[in-house]
Amino acid sequence: MQTIKNQFPIFDARPGLVYLDSAATALTPISVIDAVSSYYGTLSANVGRGLYATAEETTAQFEAVREKTARFLGAKRDEIVFTRNTTEAINLLAYVLEDQIEPGDNIVVTALEHHSNFLPWKRLAEKRGAELRIVPFETDGSIKGEIAQEYIDSKTKVFAFSAISNVFGTPNPVAELVRMAKEMNPDIMTVVDAAQAAGHSHIDVRTLNCDFLAFSGHKCFGPTGVGVLYGKEAILSTLPPYQVGGGMVQDARAEETAYKDSPHRFEAGTPDIASVFGLGAALDFVEEVGIDAIHDYESGRATQAVSKLEKTFGDSIHILGLNDRRESGIVSFTLDGIHPHDIAQVLGEHDICIRAGEHCAAPLHRVLSLPATARASFSVYNTKTDIDTLVEGLKNVVKLFKS
């Protein structure tokens, strides 16, 4: 794993950095940086427009990343829509599904959701006079199928939930939840927020059988500015465009407009081509390291961290989720008498980077009656020394506030 860490140049620039905020944005390996730079340095043409060699090569490489992303998810090429991030992907979906929601219908989400998979559905329900139903989570931060099914009926149009909670770090049984939802209502559309799962655990959309799935490049070692919306071809082909403009139209005559087939009808204007190239390199990185190796390493680091935190701070630390064996790299916690913002501030002064706040999951924190939590999230470049440094840093935080 030291060899892997050496692929991240930020540690050359900041050798003392202890980066424990990968759930927000993962660090970027040199191969991804090179891919982004290569686009600007050797191509820098638009896609799907020019007839000259550079433009055609750019288009071919861009579409090759679409193919690669499809293989990564177990999907078809035409089921992959490039967006800016998970947030845009889910907003796109909520917008194009608007005409299918009627007064009296309901949309089901969970109390675990990131705002990006909560607010678009809340707004859609309000706009269309539908009911928003919120499934409660278990004490370990998971959603149980037998509980979720109580919220789904023949009037449920959408069931949206996260594959992994960005606060608890607990994975949900995605295939089971999809199966349960389809049994309750065969016409329901299932939407999976995979922002914390993609690049960190295995995903096969055919096995999951979800209708839609979204993730961001920057959370799986890629650049910012690129996200992915997967949608079943049979459904995408029936949906209207999200935005209109160049690149997504077949014929824009005044009399009538003919839009391109999916996925291109959902990609109006010039995309972030360089970031798509970077996403392709990030998926190569994940494949080279191995998705199972990444998952096991990150979960193992988180499990070690929890054990040492509990041993060091005892009853004064409160860790969310199951602590004997973590299933992701996420560890959220509180320390008695110290606000999480203060914890993050003091640690940050020593280049120990954690996240503090509601993590864009206000409903979850309201349920727990917590104003905020501190979150350390581990990835392939974190070592046991990082855990030791975090614990020593927290000792200093406690000492500071006791004094």
Q: In what order do the strands lie in the sheet with 330-335?
A: 317-319, 330-335, 373-377, 355-357
Tokens at residue 156, please?
A: 């449920």
Selected catalytic residue, list 210, 220, 353, 360: 360
- Hey, is 308 helix, strand or coil? helix
Which residues of 194-254 form beta strands (DSSP E)? 212-216, 227-231, 249-251
Range list of H helices, 271-356: 273-289, 291-313, 340-348
Phi, psi values for residue 166, rounded to 5°:
-80, 0
Count Cβ neighbours within 10 Å for each residue of 303-321 and write b for 16 or more, e otherwise: bebbeebeeebeeebebbb
DSSP state of 68: H
Residue 9, Cβ neighbours under 10 Å: how many?
13
Tokens at residue 387, please?
A: 């855990």
- End-to-end C-alpha distance for the chain, whole angstroms: 39
Nearest 5 degrees, angle CA 24-CA 26-CA 30?
Answer: 155
Which residues of 217-270 form beta strands (DSSP E)? 227-231, 249-251, 258-259
CA-to-CA separations, 158 to 161, 172, 303, in angstroms, rounded: 10, 17, 34
Q: How far apart are CA 256 and CA 253, in angstroms?
A: 6
Q: How far apart are CA 191 and CA 109, in angstroms?
A: 9
CA-to-CA separations, 387 to 36, 140, 276, 296, in angstroms, rounded: 32, 23, 33, 16
Q: Of 150, 164, 155, nearest to 192 (Cα)?
A: 164
**Strand-strand pairing, 227-231 and 330-335:** unpaired
N residues, the chain:
403
In the block, residue with structure tokens 């370990």: 140
Q: In what order do the strands lie in the sheet with 156-162?
A: 80-83, 227-231, 212-216, 189-193, 156-162, 106-110, 131-135
- Catalytic residue flag (residue 360): yes
- Known catalytic residues? 360
